[in-house]
Amino acid sequence: MAKVLAISSHVVRGHVGLAATVPALQWLGHEVWALPTVLLASRPGLGRVVRLEVPVRDLVATLSALESDGCWASLDAVLAGYFSSPRAVTAAAEAIGRIRQANPGIAVLVDPILGDDGRLYIAEETAEAIREQLLPLATIATPNLFELRWLTGTTTDGLAELTSAARRLGSATVVVTSAAEAPDSIATLLVTDTGSVERRLPRRAGIPNGAGDLFAGLFLGHLLNGCDPAAALDASLTELDRVLAASTNQPVLQLWALHGKADRRR
């Protein structure tokens, strides 16, 4: 069992942000210390937009309390996801820097949640802070195609160009989700120092938000369980597709499908 500090958004209803990554990591046997950066009543598009920001001073105080308790050295990994302000990014980056001082070999997965479908859905200054402060700390990065292009300032397309752009992020392991789309499939690209691997899943319609968050948790969880990156990718995509198949036209991701059991929707 590994110990993971997960810093991201949380929703009360739905499985987005921590509500997806935490169950994935726990399902794979890990202990998760979940720290929300923002709290929403429901996932985007599901219900009323009620959004409670966690003040940066409270984020800093929580991280400082954990540090004062001597917890940093016992951590095996940090997962950083959604941030709504540059100051929150700075607070997380500074804490991760101190965590790495206490534990130089720690895995740091940065899921740079910036946007999709050709647009940012956080402020540009927040996206810039993630690029300049968080990504340099990452040993693992999991951007989608839009995020990779925005972070590297390119309009990459094709396996060779995507691989080159992914390596420019500076992380030892990069997974580009939704790297390429076809009428019947969506590709995920894994890039490491030694090469690249592309895998495809069936395209599924009517999927609720949260697939990227779920994948990040699964991928990190499998790495912490000793899988090499390619094996972690294959296992994570198999489990993700099982959830997506069960979640078609559902209001929230059906995480029960991680267990591979019969359809529970009825």
Q: Is residue 220 one of the residues assigned to a domain?
A: yes
Q: Is residue 114 one of the residues assigned to a domain?
A: yes
Residue 265 has pLDDT above 60, yes or no: no
Structural domain including 199 reads 3-259
Q: Is residue 26 one of the residues assigned to a domain?
A: yes
CATH, residue 132: 3.40.1190.20
Residue 38 has pLDDT above 60, yes or no: yes
Please return the burial class of 165, using the count of CB atoms within 10 Å of its CB with bins 0-12, 13-18 and 19+.
buried
Residue 123 has pLDDT above 60, yes or no: yes
CB neighbours of residue 3 within 10 Å: 14
Q: Is residue 73 one of the residues assigned to a domain?
A: yes
Q: Is residue 265 one of the residues assigned to a domain?
A: no
Q: What are residue 181's DSSP bridge partners?
A: 186
Structural domain count of the chain: 1
Q: Give the C-alpha separation, 179 to 175, whole Å.
A: 9
Query: Which amino acid is located at 110 in the chain?
Result: V
Per-residue pLDDT band for 176 (boundaries 50, 70, 90) equals very high
- Please, what's the b/e burial string for 58-79 (b: 16 or more CB within 10 A of its CB; e: otherwise)? ebbebbeebeeeebbeebbbbb
pTM summary value: 0.95
Residue 266 has pLDDT above 60, yes or no: no
Q: Is residue 266 one of the residues assigned to a domain?
A: no
- Please list, in sequence order, all residues whose beta carbon lies within 8 angstroms of the beta carbon of residue 120, skipping any fewer than 6 positions away: 114, 127, 150
Q: Is residue 264 one of the residues assigned to a domain?
A: no
